[in-house]
Amino acid sequence: MISGECRAAAADLPAPVAVVDLAAFDANAAELLRRAGGRPVRLATKSVRVPALVERALAAGFTGLMAYSVREAAWWARRGVDDVLLGYPSADLAALTEVVADPALRAAVTVMADDVAHLALLDRARAAAGAPDAVVRVCLDVDASLEPGPAALGRRRPHLGVRRSPLRTPDDAAALAGEAHRRGFDVRGLMFYEAQVAGLPDTSAAVRAVKRASLAELAVRRGTVVAAVTGAVGHGLAVVNGGGTGSLAATAADPAVTELTAGSGLLAPTLFDGYRVPDGGRALRPAAFLGLDVVRRPAPGVVTVFSGGYIASGAVGPSRAPTPVHPPGLRLTRSEGAGEVQTPLRGRAADGLAVGDRVWFRHAKAGEVMERFAEVALVGPARDVVPTYRGLGLTFG
């Protein structure tokens, strides 16, 4: 799972250590762009969080960034990235004011909104910046979840997907777009993130059926929302964003979509192991690994490594824990799991390990774990140790 070259390249680095296999990273970048079928693919920075890797993906052909924080978006814009889409609404008035006050940032950053309250915050930012007529780029986030069937008496329709935007219908989106336009904002686009397709492994026939139904429903609704918003603002939209690593090929087939977003697939964490490979595609290759050293041998068949509590966000469960992958034949214990300071491991490989030997893990998610490391080793023809956001003293949330 982790190459001998990666293990050897990081052998002299103290643990805990994070390593990225650049050959796998580059192969994944090429595969994601191939799945997009020629559509531009925006890079989700939250799934990387290592500036050198973000820049490597842009050099490979990704187009623009999707940031997760206003301050992060401004940071990248100041580094020369001229197209940064904020993936989530923000209530950070100080950061919004900073963007509004700087014409260069306003030209590079598009903020996200799904509520008139977000427009009111932007009005406050314009007032605080002393620029009440500043034209701020805005994108509206539209709920892309599936709500099948009619509502039962006194109950809402079933909701299959994440809880994101309150905007769902063409009328919802057009009303907010019209209000944003009336206030002098540049309504630049729409985002539809179909998390129940892009973020859900193909674990069963039922899941695959939900995905097919979701894509079919969106193929109709997305186009009607785009048409309604276009009519409300009186011009075409530069951005209609959709998809994620798990749905690039399917979303690319929707003619209403102008661009896609991906990020996690570059590192291919364990949560993506259950996804089906699109026809004609190649499986993504695990590219990010964590090395932890054995510090105890408390019993036959058991070793303890230092650190390890890198639990991914989301619904708590075994799928969110890091997975030992080398040497093969190790597993977390049910009673302790991945520990805050130490992590016991059981399995046939334990008795072959000595204090000081290294065990390699994969994380459940992609960029999230990089918040726990100041540096990451990039392994290619040569090794390069580069800073993460944390290593640069950046904390965006």
Which pLDDT belongs to residue 149? 64
Which pLDDT belongs to residue 213? 76
Kind of pairing between the strands at 288-299 and 17-21: antiparallel
Name which of 35-39, 160-164, 284-288, 296-300 the model is least confident about: 160-164
Helix (H) or strand (E) holding 210: helix 205-233
Assess whether pLDDT exceeds 80 at residue 257: yes
Kind of pairing between the strands at 331-332 and 109-113: unpaired
Residue written as token pair 């259950």: 274
* C-alpha separations of 80 from 75, 76, 155, 164 in Å: 9, 7, 49, 30
Which pLDDT belongs to residue 96? 98
Assess whether pLDDT exceeds 90 at residue 330: yes
Single pTM value for the model: 0.94
- Average pLDDT of the residues of the chain: 93
Nearest CA to 290 out of 276, 274, 311 is that of: 311
Q: Name the range with the highest mean pLDDT among 239-253, 273-287, 300-314.
A: 300-314
Which pLDDT belongs to residue 156? 66
Give 334's pLDDT tier (boundaries 50, 70, 90): very high
Question: Per residue in 170-206, pLDDT tens?
Answer: 999 999 999 999 999 999 999 998 877 756 676 777 7
Q: SS3 for 319?
A: helix
Which pLDDT belongs to residue 301? 97
Give 146's pLDDT tier (boundaries 50, 70, 90): confident
The C-alpha atoms of residue 93 and residue 91 are separated, in whole angstroms, by 6
What tokens were used for 233? 């603002």
CB 349 within 8 A of CB 297: no
The C-alpha atoms of residue 36 and residue 200 are separated, in whole angstroms, by 18
Average pLDDT over residues 108-124: 98
What tokens were used for 148? 């099948």
Domains in the chain and their CATH numbers? 23-267 (3.20.20.10), 288-388 (2.40.37.20)
